[in-house]
Structure 1
Amino acid sequence: MPEYPYLLIHGLIGSLRDLAPLFRSRSIQAHMPDLLGYGGLQHVDPSTITLPGQVAHLARWLTERDIERVHLVGHSVGGAIAMLFATAHPTRVASIYSVEGNFSLADAFWSASVARMTPHEADTMLAQFRENPDGWLAKSGIATTASHRASASSLLGNQPASTIQATARSVVEVTGHADYLQAVREIFEGSTPVHLIAGERSKEGWNLPPWALEKAASVTCLPGGHLMMLEDPEQFVSALTSL
């Protein structure tokens, strides 16, 4: 059993809380707190939703629960939040698992598109996704099953469009700055192990710098695509906890 709990940070849409039972079944402690603007925190003013704001929120969340150190797991945009957290609070991070986490603007192509939308366009986009979760799954190459459809509907309902757009704008601002990639490189070159996890269908679209592959503690490729934890939750948690 790991000495420290896992802290899972989700991406632009959704939550990772559906994975909680799989960690419990392995007697492994894991936390999936709502980020600002998501889940039980949907009421938060969108103007306050930024990636650095999420870092401060997670630090407060851990402190309130007397959790001193964690294994950080960040998916997609959550990977960028994990790197910012490790930069701001290095002693609180035992290891990092970047699950196709954003390394640069090249990984934020969809966030950039959403960031440019008007509020009405963002609302319309999310409404269309919610009306057709099967179509949303198909965009990621995921076959429709009752379980997948239920998970997709839950993820799409976990935040308003204003949260998605505020987060997307912050992603563009943060990852587009040269200081961000330099800070990420310093983490890889430091003493905190960084594990890289990708999906077989989506790995080619992940813009990993050569130094990240060279310095990573491990590189794992799982069957599936960018939403590999939705496609096969059991496989994802098993792979994550075996590293």
Structure 2
Amino acid sequence: MQPVVLLHGLIGPFADERAVTHLRPAVVLSPDLLGYGPEADVNPQGITIDAQVEYMRTTLDTRAPNTRVHLVGHSVGGVIAASFAHGYPDRVESFVNVEGNFALADAFWSTQVATQTLDQVNAMLEADRADPARWLRESGVEPTGDRIRSAAEALAYQPAGTIQVTARAVVEYTGLTAGAVKSRPIRSGAFAAAGSATVVRCRRRRRTPASPMARMTRATRLWFTAWPPPSRSWAVTLGTP
């Protein structure tokens, strides 16, 4: 079985064993995107969707060389995964999209953040870090001990500058007209994978992105109950799009 690559969204990381366990015995890679975790010191001005795609290419060349991979992208990670599949279709076996920001209507939180100053984003992030249970409740997630710990880890995983420039990069990349050059990779990339493309949509959140754990866990579980992937593209809808 080819490796499974999990790409986190605007708030990272995504490497929780509660979701990864559904993918065993496959090799599971959860790379940190530019600006996140060990890559948090990257100059924020260099963070674009195209830069993330190239960073993914070099990462996979090192960690999963000479093999195709199954991509699972959440939110911003869905955009990056689709763009990667468009640019490097020979590296992608299948693609699972969980709430990917393929249009501005999907990138509603990124659209809000993109208009804020760095001070405003930092103030919002610090308030959420101070009370991760509230952050979960406002996202429609019941705060439990494990979820609060995961939320605190996610909120601490990236600086405010990363959130701001990533949100702006998503808005720039997805906010173009259907005929624009950069809009095509998102649409064609979603179905460029040789195996399958799965789309998982969930309820819209009021302000902040909920912890992706439940959504990603359900997505990976549904995906692997249909293993091996079908030879054509297919879609799964969870909740209310």
TM-score bracket, shorter-length normalisation: 0.7 to 0.9
**Deviation at residue 87 of structure 1 after TM alignment:** 1.1
Q: 1:88/1:157 Cα in 2 relative to 1: closer, same or farther (>3 Å)?
A: same
**Closer, same or farther in 2 for the Cα pair 1:45/1:4, shift >3 Å?**
same
Q: TM-score, normalised by structure 2?
A: 0.82
Match in the other structure for 1:197: 200
Equivalenced residues, count: 219
More helix by share: 1
Find the aligned partners of 1:37 and 1:45 in 2 and give their Cα distance.
Answer: 8
The aligned runs of 1:140-155 (5 Å cut-off) are 140-155=139-154
Output the CA distance in 1 between the equivalents of 2:159 and 2:225.
Answer: 35
**Partner amino acid, structure 1, of 2:222:** A
Amino acid across the alignment from 2:200 = I
**Which residue is 1:64 aligned to?**
62
Pairwise CA distance, 1:188: 5.0
Q: Is the 8 A contact 1:36 1:42 kept in 2?
A: yes
Identity %: 39
What is the CA-CA distance between 1:109 and the residue it aligns to? Answer: 1.7
Amino acid at match of 1:22: V
Please tell me whether the aligned partners of residues 122 and 160 of structure 2 are also in contact (alpha carbons under 8 angstroms): yes
Q: Determine which structure has greater relative contact order: mean sequence separation of CA pairs < 8 Å that are 6+ residues apart, divided by chain length.
A: 2
Q: Which runs of 4+ in 1 moved over 2 A?
A: 19-26, 65-68, 178-192, 226-243
Q: Gaps spanning 5+ residues in structure 1: where?
A: 206-225
- The amino acid across from 1:198 in the alignment is R
1:185 matches 2:187: yes
Q: Is the 8 A contact 1:23 1:237 kept in 2?
A: no
**Residue 69 of structure 1 aligns to which amino acid in structure 2?**
R
Question: Structure 2 CA distance, aligned partners of 1:11 and 1:233?
Answer: 11
Match of 1:90 in 2: 89
Deviation at 1:239, TM superposition (A): 2.3
Match in the other structure for 1:166 = 165
Contact 1:20 1:30 in 2 (8 A): no
For the 8 Å contact 2:19–2:216, the answer to whether it is kept is: no
Q: What SS is found at the alignment partner of 1:96? A: strand
Residue in 1 that maps onto 2:223: 240
Deviation at 1:202, TM superposition (A): 3.8
Alpha-carbon distance, 1:26 to partner: 2.6
Q: Of 53, 56, 60, which aligns to 1:55?
A: 53
Q: One-letter code of the match for 1:99?
A: V
Quickly say closer, same or farther: Cα 1:57–1:176, change in 2 above 3 A: same
Structure 2, unpaired ranges of 5+: 227-241
Paired residue type of 1:110: W
Q: Are the equivalent residues in 1 in contact too, given 2:83–2:189 (CA < 8 A)? A: no
Q: Output the aligned Cα RMSD.
A: 2.4
For the residues of structure 2 that align with 1:21 and 1:230, how far apart are their CA atoms?
A: 7
After TM superposition, give the deviation of residue 166 of structure 1 in Å.
Answer: 0.8
Distance 2:211 2:164 in 1: 23
Bigger mean CA deviation after superposition, 178-187 or 8-17: 178-187
Cα 1:127–1:180 shift into 2, 3 Å: same
Letter in 1 for 2:109: W
Q: Secondary structure at the match of 1:61?
A: helix
**Corresponding letter in the other structure for 1:89:** Y
- Structure 1 match to 2:239: none
Residue 119 of structure 1 is matched in structure 2 by 118
The 1:10–1:31 alpha-carbon spacing in structure 2 relative to 1, beyond 3 Å, is same
Q: What secondary structure sits across from 1:17 in the alignment?
A: coil
